[in-house]
Structure 1
Amino acid sequence: MRRHAAGVHRLAASMVGPGAADDVVQEVFISLHRSLKTFRGEAKFSTWLHRVTLNACYGALKARTTVPLSQEPEPRAPHSPVHRSEQAQVRERLAAALNQLPRDQREAIALRELSGLDYAEIAQITGAELGTVKSRIARARAALRAWLTNAGVTP
């Protein structure tokens, strides 16, 4: 649990928002504990963990009607209030942009950029072909870039 909790939380926060991510993480590890003896080892443990996490995220999303914008805690580094405010606005806009993506693109980009998985692992988790995963990520990046540019966020 100590090894994987941070990654599970990052993925959950990207899918359901940081406010609900703690509940999803708890649900994931309870689910893993209950079903660990059924893990057949046909895939890597991390692949199974990500699939369980995504399923828990979808369950949490079904349980509510709207996905809130990200409101992650501010970093503890000593920055000026103006810089903190700008960072919070960028995070909020990024969360809003992620929420606009279709489910398959949001899932693929979260697994790639937040969990750091390679394309083959994402394909195995999602059950999509490798080329499909690549195109989903490319489309998600393009959509995020366009959405953020229109929202006034510059790289």
Structure 2
Amino acid sequence: MYEHLEDRQLVPLARRDHRAYEALMRRHLPRMHAVACGIVGESNAEDVLQEVLWSTYRNLKHFRGDAEFSTWLYRITMNACYQALRKPQAEVTPLEDLDPPSLENVAHRAEQNQMRELIEEGLQSLPAEQREAFSLREFLDMEYQQIAEVLGVQLGTVKSRINRAKQALKTFLLQRGVQP
């Protein structure tokens, strides 16, 4: 019903119609999830997204439209991520499929999980500024200028942070035996 509308058209409707709000959030949820996974890891991303959805719903009436809605939304997402990182984390073990998988699938899944865990560990080892710039670029495929707007920094700063993050991740992975 609302999917054909652009964000700038949908935001005023979303302030008074929950279906418009849901359409707006559905549009951005996959990218918000990617940012949250990149910053807090997959195991904490769902909790962060719940906070983002609640915060966005409460504060949509305050969105002035000075920036693009997506810029505002990603800033809220990153703030929720950093708030989650400051909280002590409980150990969470994800539930696996109950059907016994084939041996090939187990080996493949184990390799994928190991690589994902290494990448998450590598991302967590980055300074926050590098991690957020890298996440916005790599997980959301944002343009450098848009990242600069989201982060409130100069374009050159974004480029530098992303370059440093890539180099640090490459070094991190090489030290753990991952070959390009």
**TM-score in terms of structure 2 length:** 0.77
Q: Report whether the alignment pairs 1:95 with 2:124.
A: no
Aligned length in residues: 150
Q: Report whether the alignment pairs 1:52 with 2:76.
A: yes
- Render the CA deviation track for 1:48-70: whole Å, top value 9, x for unaligned: 0100000111111111269x8xx
Q: Report whether the alignment pairs 1:112 with 2:106.
A: no
Which is bigger in relative contact order (C-alpha 8 A, separation at least 6)? 1
**TM-score in terms of structure 1 length:** 0.88
1:19 CA displacement:
1.6
Task: Give the whole-Å Cα distance in 1 for the aligned partners of 2:88 and 2:145.
Answer: 32
Question: What 5-or-longer segments of structure 1 have no aligned partner?
Answer: none
Name the counterpart of 1:19: 43
Runs of 4+ in structure 1 deviating by more than 6 angstroms, as ranges, are none
1:152 CA displacement:
0.9
Task: Give the whole-Å Cα distance in 2 for the aligned partners of 1:43 and 1:64.
Answer: 33
RMSD: 2.3
Cα 1:117–1:18 change in 2 (3 A) is same
Question: What 5-or-longer segments of structure 2 have no aligned partner?
Answer: 1-24
1:80 CA displacement:
3.2
Cα 1:23–1:65 change in 2 (3 A) is closer
Task: Give the whole-Å Cα distance in 1 for the aligned partners of 2:148 and 2:109.
Answer: 37
- Render the CA deviation track for 1:38-92: whole Å, top value 9, x for unaligned: 11111111100100000111111111269x8xx7x89xxx963222211111111
